[in-house]
Chains A and B, each alone.
Chain A
């Protein structure tokens, strides 16, 4: 089976090459995106068939790459799951792009890289030795960098892509070090060898930390997330969806592959670090998002938040596995994997919706939108579905995976380690806070973008997007709903994956009556998506009827000359900034050092009063600016080395030689 996936990936890469020739012609983007959609869908079907048929892992060794190592490929349950995530997401996004790609001013800057990018992500997932993995990873990074740079004439895009390139290089370096440690002194670079070697706890901990830096920087954990909200929005919308929805998942795949599969075991304090990082990432991500009024940047920050939630699940799985609590480990793992799937679906949906809105209004600033529900009815419905899903509200899929994560957190009192027992409820609190703030954030997004009155002339004359785009978004919305109503099927499909990673699976869910899911025991907790859907549908219909019956048609009294409105200007509405103000004042003053400046004109002056908000990014200021300054300082000092005399150069070499000899003497 692996040869089918590999073939699909290579065909996608060749499609990228072919589109170099095609790109200039009319209709090229339709062909390229259509072919990408077809190939991705086929690959996803292969992955699905593999996962459901419970086939044994299929391997392939090609005699290319490093001598004596070759290129190893392997399709197992974990790889198959991520092949589905990548293939399905790419297929839908490609269908969207068939329509959306027409608006691209310079398609030849996007088309050659787009299918190759999908192919590279697939190669990362099926790679089975360190060299192939790193090569595919690097190709993936560079292609996505080229895609970010598609609109390179804007200064913001150029600086974003530079930050991205630096972070990607740093991440890959950490990955190289991690794989070097895993390969050990004998240099076994194929994953089979790494699996068979049991590392010492300290070495394992170092590998996990390197993976947190390497894969985590690509996925966007705080404080390595800074490139993500710059680079993801800078790309064309379908690429933003691809990067946020899918590439971050490939990064998480790398983390899971190494820490759960290749690594024998890590020190006992490792799960605590992963949990803490996940919790901080979740809360910080959503707080950043609340401060944003740029729609795509806001969505990118929500990616950071959801990556945090996934890492919380992974940290719990690590903790439970460390103490041999198999059922709990399976629950946490399935929760994380389920959230990976869910986030790839609803984040793609939201980015595609944002692309549609940007296309219709010509802006990403939410303060220039409003009232789009009248002009773009279908987009507004699917965007609402995505918003509810990401806010973790039933009956959609986001709720199920976050609920499963909470169920896993509730099992933490059984852990023997006191540190984890104290830490995990705190993490649960942070997760709850993040979920609530995310809901607040999407009330803001939906209210400001789609409800109310148009804030700009373009928003007033916005047009609904084309049918391809609508169809793609509708498919994603339906998947959100189905995965939310029938989570039992997804959980059962994930059981071979969790079995491969934590040696246990969750109890079979589909045998429960009425599609209920019971993650631990029926006496403890259960959830029935269908029932909740019926209840929500019933109560919402009743509320709508009651409002129309008693409020809309009821007799109302209003001031005589106002016609219900005090002032008919769109900017008197609640805006994004005004909606976020309470939260900005509560959290922002401490975290972002938010200062609100109000300058009132002198009495009698006709100048307008001004209100200005300044905020600082604590991570950027406290971390990256200092690192940048340190590098600059060091370069300044090292610059003197360029102008030494020959004798001084020799002296430097000599001193170094003597020092190394000394180290060698003292070491042995």
Chain B
């Protein structure tokens, strides 16, 4: 593999990681959705570049799925949900931005050290890719537990899933059917979560999940 293609792959995956960090400090919901769309675009680019490098045409399909569903359809749908619920003004965060960023950096360091250590036998591209992917997964998880609003938890989950796709694209020989099924399962999850959002809201007049805790009689 030439140095240039490696550098570009590195750049795109690193870009995704950077966007993940951007998501962590977005406190406004609309901005969060925009950043998430950017995240998905970066994923599509990254996967498409892998398709070029590995000469694997089925990865173009994966990239297209990512671009269509995650960069356009899901952010658009979430946008409409927020509009209909009228919660676009809400600002919410459980842990402060600074602390979350520090935690995120720690997670990136951990996953880099771990992945570089574990995959010492494989080629450089896959190693870097896996390290980035694990970082993105952990950051998505971190986002899910540091947010209170159900919408941003959904976004965290989606970005976590983007990290998985990135890892799958980096590993050579992953069949297309697996990727498609993963993409569709995410879509189904999105629909289910969307439905749930409305049900939660109908019942509690809010999508803030702490209200559900109050409902269970465990106000904290």
Q: Which residues of A contact B (CB under 8 A)?
A: 643, 645-647, 650-651, 654, 657-658, 661-662, 664-665, 668
Contact = CB atoms under 8 A, between A and B. Distances in A.
A661 B141 contact: no
Contacts of A643: 216, 218
Contacts of B102: none
B138 A645 contact: no
Contacts of B34: none
B196 to A, nearest CB: 12
B218 A665 contact: no
A645 B209 contact: yes
Interface in B89-144: 94, 107, 110-111, 113-114, 117-118, 138, 141-142, 144
Report, nearest first, the 3 A-B pairs whose CB atoms are least far apart. A665-B114, A645-B213, A651-B145
B210 interface: yes
Contacts of B113: 665
B145 A661 contact: no
A647 B118 contact: no
B141 A654 contact: yes
A658 B210 contact: no
A647 B148 contact: yes
Contacts of B94: 647
Contacts of B138: 657-658
A654 B145 contact: yes
11 contacts: A645-B213, A645-B218, A647-B148, A650-B141, A650-B144, A654-B142, A654-B145, A657-B138, A661-B111, A662-B110, A664-B118
Contacts of B118: 664, 668
A645 B110 contact: no
Interface extent on B, as a size class?
Answer: 20 to 34
Contacts of B145: 647, 650-651, 654
B203 interface: no
B126 to A, nearest CB: 18
A661 B110 contact: yes
A661 B210 contact: no
Contact of B110 (A646, A651, A658): A658
A643 B217 CA distance: 10
A351 to B, nearest CB: 57
A647 B110 contact: no
B166 to A, nearest CB: 18
B220 interface: yes
Interface string B155-175: 000000000000000000000
Contact of A665 (B110, B144, B148): B110
A645 B94 CA distance: 14
Contacts of A645: 209-210, 212-213, 218, 220
A435 B148 CA distance: 72
A155 B6 CA distance: 75
Contacts of B114: 661, 664-665
